[in-house]
């Protein structure tokens, strides 16, 4: 399988034109800055709840218009304290993805001042403090 | 009493709007006529589809995916089906891939015609709106001819398509395409040359190339700002790797460029449909059976919807249901991340810029105008607002 | 006089309460020249205060349902409601999802149901015609 190296991070090709790297949440901002230099935009932030492993996996999917590949950055946070640094100041387009992940799965993006509940979720669930896309939400 | 000189305009596009899948309220703050701040407000059309997907089987998810958006339903089904096919290890036959491509391109033509019509209506060119809507019915007729449905195509099935195209249908589509192409060329000429449209669209809502990338805009919005990025070309799926076509790019970056990119693209789509019909591979297209369970794994599936890159992240832990399906639609990026493009423009330009991102149809929405100086609160329609500067 | 006064020129207000747009583009198609609704006197009303008929599409998102209730109150009597499409009738594929109410008649009284996913423009016009016939009979 092919590999792609960006600023010391090695992305591994998992299927055609999809390159993956796993990092600690603390490395996200550094990596985002490196990826943005490759003429990339952030496609989506996909969060997957994994209650068995007591973790939430975050997938930052970038598309690099220079390399014409998807660069996927995986990171994990614990379910009790799901906090990652925001990348909105580096990639302004991350705003929608961060608001959505906060509202649906309760991931706190530290430094993003616009986070609020009720971005998508109806009022009755917000008042009960339910994050609907968590596996134990019961909705 | 504190005198406040800003008027607050509230555009509840979510509720009163034949809305997008991401209906949004634009809260516009204006100083006199000049827009100084725009904030988006969402949640009017959230239907919990990602959660529903987890509860339903792989096959039912296909119908749910199509119902994320009625305008671009075939691409939603395609992106879901191609991801699930990868997880299940099935490969659709070439003929099925061609038929899927034909349906998706017909959809692109009607979607681009729809937004061109809506844009014409927004700027007050009602005749053009009616004309494009009339000709759009020809495309809807073709869609019905191929799939059996006018709107929700539902032609995909895991490992193929549900209906084949026979000779009679093929010839009918080819002859109808000639008329559609003529009309599209005419509309492109109107958008390029008409004085009214140029006056309202050119130089309005300009996005530079670097801004388009850093704000993660996709589709005709990105290509209208000079970035050559098209999933069909960069990351081919279905039959696009075998069909020659051009990626339309314009450098102007304004509302006008985005509209012209769409009309050019519709013409390119006519070419793709024609090529696909003339080079339709022989062999089966309709599978006799399809698998019900997927292997463990995850897949990031992308397609080019009429509004831009559409991406699904599908996670499977085996068995009959998806574990997680993350859906990110193009309008989600194009609407939320374009707050900055309204700044400095006049109030009457807001609907024009908003429509140029192809949010969807706008005909019944209203705008709440609060003029705090005069203490007046009133509702006006988006259409009315668009005419403020002109009357 | 009475209710029959609207039967010559009923103005319709289209309200999307969390629909997928499928019904909405068909409503738009039904209201443009190819299907020519103006022969029935039907026009799109720009504002609930001008409307006689409210045409509801979609699975009734909770936030949007509040709006619908308000719009219904703002519409002058006599007023009628058409529920258009499978979602407005029963919730369609979105039944039992957490953000939706699933049925238009749980929010406002509905006079005519137009089935289909989405209904064809002809079916929408037929639904309107049915309602007008009923109004003409004094019901």
Domain coordinates in residue numbering, chain C: 2-136
Using an 8 Å CB-CB cutoff, list residues of chain C that contact chain B: 13-29, 32-34, 44-47, 57-59, 61, 63-64, 67-68, 71, 92-94, 97-100, 117-118, 120
Using an 8 Å CB-CB cutoff, list residues of chain B that contact chain A: 42-43, 46, 48, 50-51, 86, 213-218, 222, 227-229, 234-235, 299-300, 302, 309, 311, 313, 315, 323-324, 326, 328, 332-333, 336-337
Nearest CA in chain B to A38: B213
Using an 8 Å CB-CB cutoff, list residues of chain C that contact chain A: 61-63, 98-99
> What local confidence, expressed as pLDDT, does residue B365 receive?
35
Q: Which residues of A touch B307 (CB under 8 A)?
A: none
**pLDDT band, residue C139 (cuts 50/70/90):** low
> What local confidence, expressed as pLDDT, does residue C111 receive?
94
> What local confidence, expressed as pLDDT, does residue B360 receive?
55
Judge whether B1 lies within some domain. no
**pLDDT digits 0-9 by tens, C16-27:** 888 888 888 898
> What local confidence, expressed as pLDDT, does residue C3 receive?
56
> What local confidence, expressed as pLDDT, does residue C107 receive?
92
> Considering B312, B328, B344, which residue would you say is the last residue of a domain?
B328
The C-alpha of A8 sits at a distance from chain B's nearest C-alpha, in angstroms, of 23
> What local confidence, expressed as pLDDT, does residue B338 receive?
86
Judge whether A89 lies within some domain. yes
> What local confidence, expressed as pLDDT, does residue B14 receive?
36
Judge whether A73 lies within some domain. yes
Judge whether B230 lies within some domain. yes
CATH code for the domain in which residue B241 is found: 1.10.645.10
Q: Do A125 and C98 touch (CB under 8 A)?
A: yes
Please tell me the distance from the alpha carbon of residue B115 to that of residue B130, in angstroms, as a whole number.
12
The answer, yes or no, to whether residue A25 has pLDDT greater than 70, is yes
> What local confidence, expressed as pLDDT, does residue B137 receive?
93
CB pairs under 8 A between A and B: 96
Judge whether A86 lies within some domain. yes
Nearest CA in chain B to A93: B215
Q: Which of residues 51-110 of A touch B (CB under 8 A)?
A: 59, 61, 63, 65, 68, 70, 72, 91-97, 99-100, 104
Q: Do C21 and B19 touch (CB under 8 A)?
A: yes
Interface partners of chain B (CB pairs < 8 Å, 3 or more) are: A, C
ipTM: 0.94
> What local confidence, expressed as pLDDT, does residue C114 receive?
95
Bond from prior residue into C78 cis (ω within 30 degrees of 0): yes
CATH code for the domain in which residue A45 is found: 3.30.460.80
**Residue A73 in contact with residue A19, Cβ under 8 Å?**
no
CA-closest candidate to residue B302, choices B75, B45, B36: B75
> Considering B328, B350, B367, which residue would you say is the last residue of a domain?
B328
Which regions in chain B score pLDDT beneath 70?
A: 1-25, 41-44, 360-391
Q: Which of B22, B27, B231, B326 to probe the A interface (max A CBs under 10 A)?
A: B326
Secondary structure class of B76 (helix, strand, coil):
helix
User: What is the number of structural domains in chain A?
Assistant: 1
**B236-260 residues labelled b (16+ CB within 10 A) or e (exposed):** bbbbbeebebeebbbebbbbbbbbb
Judge whether B284 lies within some domain. yes
Residues B153 and B166 in one domain: yes
Q: Are strands A9-15 and A18-22 parallel, antiparallel or unpaired?
A: antiparallel
Judge whether B308 lies within some domain. yes
Residues B68 and B213 in one domain: yes
H/E stretch holding B336: helix B330-336
Judge whether A134 lies within some domain. no
User: What is the number of structural domains in chain B?
Assistant: 2
Q: Do B18 and C61 touch (CB under 8 A)?
A: no
Judge whether B391 lies within some domain. no
Q: Do B71 and C21 touch (CB under 8 A)?
A: yes
**Residue C55 in contact with residue C68, Cβ under 8 Å?**
no
> What local confidence, expressed as pLDDT, does residue B359 receive?
75
Residue B9 has φ and ψ, to the nearest 5°, of -110, 130
> What local confidence, expressed as pLDDT, does residue A60 receive?
95
**pLDDT band, residue C121 (cuts 50/70/90):** very high
Nearest CA in chain C to B114: C25
The answer, yes or no, to whether residue C10 has pLDDT greater than 60, is yes
> What local confidence, expressed as pLDDT, does residue C97 receive?
87
Q: Do C94 and B364 touch (CB under 8 A)?
A: no
Judge whether A84 lies within some domain. yes
Please tell me the distance from the alpha carbon of residue A93 to that of residue B308, in angstroms, as a whole number.
15
| pTM for this predicted structure | 0.90
Average pLDDT rounded to a whole number, residues C66-72: 87
Please tell me the distance from the alpha carbon of residue C40 to that of residue C122, in angstroms, as a whole number.
13
Residues B201 and B256 in one domain: yes
**B43, B229, B333: residue with CB nearest A93:** B333
Q: Which residues of C touch A120 (CB under 8 A)?
A: 99
Nearest CA in chain B to A36: B214
Residues B167 and B190 in one domain: yes
Judge whether A138 lies within some domain. no
**pLDDT band, residue C90 (cuts 50/70/90):** very high
Judge whether A137 lies within some domain. no
Asked if B137 is an interface residue toward chain C (Cβ–Cβ < 8 A), one would say: yes
The answer, yes or no, to whether residue A27 has pLDDT greater than 70, is yes
> What local confidence, expressed as pLDDT, does residue B287 receive?
92
Residues B368 and B259 in one domain: no
Which residue reads 């995850």 in tokens? B298
Q: What is the CATH number of domain C2-136?
A: 3.40.50.12280
Residues B65 and B150 in one domain: yes
Q: Do C98 and A139 touch (CB under 8 A)?
A: yes
Q: Do C62 and A139 touch (CB under 8 A)?
A: no
Range of the domain at B30: 6-45+333-386
CB pairs under 8 A between A and C: 14
- Name every residue whose Cβ is closer than 8 Å to that of residue B3 and which is 6 or more positions away in sequence: B373
Range of the domain at A19: 3-128
């Amino acid at each position: 399988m092919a590999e792609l190296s960006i600023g010391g991070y090695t992305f591994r090709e998992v299927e055609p034109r999809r390159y993956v790297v796993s990092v600690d949440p603390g490395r996200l901002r550094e990596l985002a800055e490196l990826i943005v230099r490759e003429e990339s935009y952030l496609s989506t932030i996909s969060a997957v709840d994994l209650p068995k492993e007591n973790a939430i996996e975050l997938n930052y999917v970038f598309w690099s218009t220079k390399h014409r590949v998807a660069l996927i950055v995986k990171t994990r946070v614990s379910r009790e304290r799901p906090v990652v640094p925001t990348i909105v100041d580096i990639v302004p387009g991350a705003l929608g993805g961060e608001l959505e992940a906060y509202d649906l799965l309760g991931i706190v993006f530290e430094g993003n001042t616009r986070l609020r509940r009720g971005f998508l979720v109806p009022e009755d669930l917000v008042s009960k403090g339910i994050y609907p896309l968590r596996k134990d939400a019961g909705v | 009493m504190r005198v406040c000189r800003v008027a607050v305009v509230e555009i509840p596009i979510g509720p009163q709007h034949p809305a997008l899948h991401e209906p949004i309220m634009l809260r516009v703050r204006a100083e006199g006529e000049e827009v100084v701040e725009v904030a988006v407000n969402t949640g009017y059309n959230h239907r919990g589809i990602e959660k529903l997907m987890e509860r339903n089987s792989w096959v039912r998810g296909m119908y749910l995916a199509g119902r994320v958006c009625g305008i671009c339903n075939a691409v939603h089904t395609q992106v879901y089906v191609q991801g699930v096919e990868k997880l299940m290890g099935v490969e659709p036959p070439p003929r099925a891939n061609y038929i899927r491509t034909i349906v998706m391109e017909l959809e692109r033509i009607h979607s681009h015609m729809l937004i061109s019509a809506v844009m014409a209506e927004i700027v007050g060119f009602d005749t053009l709106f009616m004309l494009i809507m009339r000709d759009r019915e020809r495309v809807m007729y073709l869609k019905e001819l191929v799939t059996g449905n006018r709107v929700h195509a539902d032609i995909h099935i895991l490992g193929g398509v549900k209906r084949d195209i026979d000779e009679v249908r093929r010839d009918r589509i080819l002859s109808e395409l000639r008329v559609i192409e003529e009309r599209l060329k005419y509309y492109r000429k109107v958008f390029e040359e008409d004085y009214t449209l140029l006056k309202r669209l050119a130089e309005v809502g300009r996005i530079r190339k670097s801004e388009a990338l850093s704000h993660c805009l996709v589709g005709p919005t990105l290509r209208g700002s000079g970035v050559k990025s098209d999933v069909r070309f960069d990351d081919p799926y279905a039959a696009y790797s075998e069909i020659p076509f051009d990626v339309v790019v314009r450098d102007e970056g304004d509302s006008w460029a985005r509209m012209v990119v769409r009309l050019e693209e519709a013409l390119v789509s006519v070419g793709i449909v024609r090529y696909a019909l003339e080079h339709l591979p022989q062999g089966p297209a309709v599978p006799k059976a399809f698998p019900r369970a997927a292997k463990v794994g995850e897949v990031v599936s992308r397609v080019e919807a009429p509004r831009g890159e559409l991406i699904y992240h599908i996670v499977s832990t085996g068995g009959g249901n998806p574990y997680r399906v993350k859906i990110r639609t193009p309008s989600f990026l194009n609407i939320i991340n374009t707050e900055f493009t309204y700044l400095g423009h006049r109030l009457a330009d807001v609907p024009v810029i908003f429509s140029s991102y192809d949010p969807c149809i706008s005909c019944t929405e209203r705008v709440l105008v609060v003029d705090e100086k005069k203490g007046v609160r009133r509702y006006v329609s988006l259409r009315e607002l668009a005419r403020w500067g002109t009357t | 006089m009475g209710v029959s006064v609207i039967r010559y020129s009923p103005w319709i207000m289209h309200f999307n309460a969390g629909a997928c747009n499928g019904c909405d583009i068909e409503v738009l198609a039904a209201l443009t020249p190819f299907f020519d609704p103006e022969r029935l006197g039907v026009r799109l009303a720009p504002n609930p205060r001008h409307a006689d008929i409210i045409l509801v599409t979609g699975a009734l998102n909770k936030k949007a349902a509040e709006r619908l209730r308000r719009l219904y109150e703002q519409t002058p009597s006599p007023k009628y409601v058409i529920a258009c499409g499978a979602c407005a009738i029963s919730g369609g594929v979105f039944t039992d999802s957490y953000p939706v109410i699933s049925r238009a008649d749980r929010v406002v009284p509905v006079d005519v149901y137009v089935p289909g996913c989405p209904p064809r423009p002809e079916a929408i016009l037929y639904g309107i015609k049915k309602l007008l016939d009923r109004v003409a009979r004094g019901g």
